[in-house]
Structure 1
Amino acid sequence: MTSKATARAHPIQGLVKYHGLRDEADRHPYHDSISVCTAPSNTTTTVEWEPDASEDTYVIDGEPVEGRGAERIDNVVDAIREHAGFDHAVRVESENSFPSNVGFGSSASGFAALAYAACEAAGLELTRPEVSTFARRGSSSAARAVTGAYSDLHTGLNDVDCRSERIETGVGELDGEPFDPESDLRIVTALVPSYKETEAAHREAADSHMFDARRAHVQDQLAEARDALREGAFHRIFETAEHDSLSLAATTMTGPAGWVYWQPETIAVFNAVRELRTESDVPVYFSTDTGASVYVNTTADYVDRVESRIAEVGVDTNVWEVGGPARTVDDALF
């Protein structure tokens, strides 16, 4: 047992998103979900098991974590403690390189880095799919951030079934040139700062009259996305992601709280993307998770033009690429 380790993980953009949980404690989703990790955005987390300490301590971006945030961290570290067969206290410090709670998947990278570092520090020799089952207990999306790139979290009622696996992608063709989903994708992020509460949306998901329709429809979305990724088919992959974003929003907006998280800038980005695609024949699609910020998916050849147009909306932009799996790093936070 090494007792201390540092890990880094990338957040995710949901392509076919999960919504709602069968089991809130172990965070078993109702159906599979597919995402792509985004880099260079990342979370770095250092974990040290402290057998002589009397209590756990959690710090994120320099601030102590309490309340529900601490409970979610407890879910992860308690499961790892049980698996490792000890009852040591733990010290956790974490830093994000990008804004959190704005719809850019910070909980995914956060719990992925936590689980990976905690397992490494405990001396557990586990595969990434196995580590993903611990990360899932903090955030279902974190399971996919452990395995990285394009990953699929399978539904299930136990850790053998409900884990993430990497999807192997193929090279397709776009505009007469090869398109590799892992090296050629560019993601223009449109930051729309608007705090969102994802847990509340998941908790009331099944109360929407649209929920059963989404569960039926999402199976076709999953099949389409998997096949398109294996074919390297840009338009099929990201048209599916765009359509799924609208389906997810329809379900959240028709829940008991009538939760609308899009802002005027969000809609303006949607319109700019559709204008580029329909009037200028640019390969570009939008995608959102549960938040007001937008992912704009395009290719390396078109990214400068797309970013320029999105910036005209009046939002802050960045350009991200496909990120890899969670991994250990040397630059410890303490």
Structure 2
Amino acid sequence: MKATGRAHPIQGLVKYHGLRDPARNVPYHDSISVCTAPSETRTTVAFGHDADTCLVDGDPVDDEGFDRVTTVLDAVRDRAGLTSGARVESVNTFASNVGLGASASAYAALAVAATAAAGLSLSRRELSALARQGATSAARSVPGGYAQLRARLPAHECVGERLDAPFTEEVRMVVGMVPAYKRTSRAHAETPASPFFDARLAAVHETLAEARDAIRGGDFARTFALAERDSLSLLATTMTGPDGWLYWRPETVRLYDLARRLRDEGLPVYFSSDTGATAYLNTTAPHAERVAEAVEALGLDSHVWRVGGPAERVDDHLF
């Protein structure tokens, strides 16, 4: 009763903050993201233990994370008729809690591993709904590639759906690392109280439709220009919540300025950030090396990533 799952984190393109059903992780509106590779989370689960335990990169997960892990495990146990505890171990090939979508890959990999370890065979939609119980964004990591989360009720209909994208192979995402710790759950609680939240909510459906059409049409510039604009919209609502939480750092602003400067020079480069100070400079394969060099000239570490595939079961266990 042991299995291992692997999933890629996500870059939000049209993002969400705020949950209209916090107990079930259902947001106020749809969202669109793209999985990033070769960054990945790998998770092994084994049932048959006295109690649940969870290690992430060799350390015990914090209390909030443990509660989210056991929520997923309990859903699997209920479905499989199991009563035993589970041993869970997970490793990331990238930094977590800095704005790189680690929660998405964490709970997508957990959903794949836990269901396989319990002897369950779930559809991709069912896996997406299960992963969402750990983190809303994990519902989009399950199908991989470009995916849209449908913020539907009842909750089992709130799942990630793959979007066809004819430009997948040419896209590169240059990560500018700004290692400032953050916790996304804080933003979900803060953002709906912003005076700009209702305005964002009113506009986001048109943005979603534009982004979906751009992705399906293979329009790189339009897709990632929308992601850049949406990053600024998200920042405006987050930093105007009750606590005035500004998660960008001076380095983040420099990355934003760099994207605009390179674009003025004729390069296809667009800034994007999720909840955190780390940012992506989205570009195409022929220009990725030059963009990465420009990021490192700012004194920041960089990674060049491509579009990642769906969450899947793998054979190399962690224990």
Per-residue CA shift, 1:8-59, capped at 9, x if unaligned?
1000000001110012221001100100000000000000111xx3211111
Q: CA deviation at 1:308?
A: 1.3
Aligned partner of 1:308 in structure 2 is 293
Match of 2:10 among 9, 12, 20: 12
Distance 2:100 2:8 in 1: 10
User: Which has the larger displacement, 206-215 or 80-89?
Assistant: 80-89
1:29: which partner in 2?
A: 27
| Structure 2 residue identity aligned to 1:111 | Y
What SS is found at the alignment partner of 1:69?
helix
Q: Which runs of 4+ in 1 moved over 3 A?
A: none
Q: Which runs of 5+ in 1 are unaligned?
A: 171-179
Once the two structures are superposed, the pairs formed by residues 76-225 of structure 1 within 5 Å of their partners are: 76-170=72-166, 180=167, 182-225=168-211
- Aligned residue for 1:243, secondary structure, equals helix
Counterpart of 1:15, as a letter, is L
* Corresponding letter in the other structure for 1:240: L
Q: Does 1:327 align with 2:312?
A: yes
Distance 2:24 2:45 in 1: 21
Q: 1:274 aligns with which of 255, 260, 263?
A: 260
Query: 1:241-252 residue pairs with structure 2 within 5 A?
Result: 241-252=227-238
Cα distance in 2 for partners of 1:26, 1:254 equals 26
Query: How many angstroms apart in 2 are the aligned matches of 1:30 and 1:135?
Result: 18
Q: 1:197 deviation in Å?
A: 1.3
Match of 1:173 in 2: none
Q: TM-score, normalised by structure 2?
A: 0.98
Secondary structure of the residue aligned to 2:116 is: helix
Alpha-carbon separation, structure 2, partners of 1:47 and 1:99: 22
* Residue in structure 1 matched with residue 61 of structure 2 by the alignment: 65
Give the Cα separation in 2 of the matches to 1:84 and 1:207.
Answer: 40
1:176 is matched with which residue?
none
SS in 2 for 1:160: helix
Instruction: State the match for 1:258 in structure 2.
Output: 244
Match of 2:220? 234
- How many residue pairs get aligned? The number is 319
What is the identity percentage for the equivalent residue pairs of Structure 1 and Structure 2?
A: 55
Q: Which amino acid is 1:82 matched to?
A: D
Letter in 1 for 2:252: T
Indicate the SS of the match to 2:286.
coil
Is residue 290 from structure 1 mapped to residue 275 from structure 2 by the alignment?
yes
One-letter identity of the residue aligned with 2:307: V
One-letter code aligned to 1:233: D
CA contact (8 A) 2:24 2:155 kept: no
Q: Secondary structure at the match of 1:133?
A: helix
How has the CA–CA distance of structure 1 residues 224 and 47 changed in structure 2, closer, same or farther, with 3 Å as cutoff? Answer: same
How many Å apart are 1:268 and its aligned residue?
A: 0.5
Shift of 1:85: 2.3
CA RMSD in angstroms, aligned pairs only: 1.0
> Which consecutive unaligned segments of at least 5 residues does structure 2 have?
none
**Alpha-carbon distance in structure 2 between the residues aligned to 1:218 and 1:87:** 43
- State whether residues 11 and 33 of structure 2, in contact with CA within 8 Å, keep that contact through their aligned partners in structure 1: yes
Deviations 1:170-192 (A, max 9, x none): 3xxxxxxxxx2x11100100000
The TM-score, its normalising length taken from structure 1, stands at: 0.94
Helix, strand or coil at the partner of 2:241: coil
